[in-house]
Amino acid sequence: MSKIILITGGQRSGKSSYAQRLALKHSSSPIYMATSRTWDEEHRQRIIRHKADRGSEWTNIEEEKQLSKHLVTGRTILIDCVTLWLTNFFYDNDSNIELSLKEAQQEFANFVEQDATFIFVTNEIGLGGMPENTIQRKFTDLQGWMNQYIANKANEVKFMVSGIPMKVK
């Protein structure tokens, strides 16, 4: 039976570092599944820095969309992050919220069918004001609906505030 843990919060709230510590508590050799595309040079440097921050105990997998093609049964997997993963669906589907949500939910469902411990990191981007343009509003809706979907399936949900995990579920 799989276990799903969702770690959510704002930018720089400590989500990823908390999730990494949690993964290492569950396993001495966890998997780090990075979902980001390399969008520009600054982003490429950020990815390099993040990889260097993780120790040799991690198995690193870079996967933009098709999480379920990786066999992870019996392992602890940290997926960082849902926001970047959704961005890939949203971009590839020309900002079509319904199609992106459907594809992401199906991929999530296929992935977590495996018997493993899944730790998903996501952003709560809807806590601020109303986004000023249509694309941002659409993506905020997509992110919120996917977060709700994962939280509903999760065994545990933690909300990060200034580096402190707060139990939600």
**DSSP string computed for the chain:** --EEEEEEESTTSSHHHHHHHHHHHH-SS-EEEE-----SHHHHHHHHHHHHHS-TTPEEEE-SS-GGGS--TTSEEEEE-HHHHHHHHHHHTTT-HHHHHHHHHHHHHHHTTSSSEEEEEEE-GGGSS--SSHHHHHHHHHHHHHHHHHHHH-SEEEEEETTEEEE--
Pairwise CA distance, residues 149 & 101, whole Å: 10
- Nearest Cα neighbor of 15 from 161, 156, 168, 116 is 161
Q: Indicate which residue of 26, 43, 50, 70 is catalytic.
A: 50
Q: Any catalytic annotation for residue 50? A: yes
- Residues with a catalytic annotation lie at 50
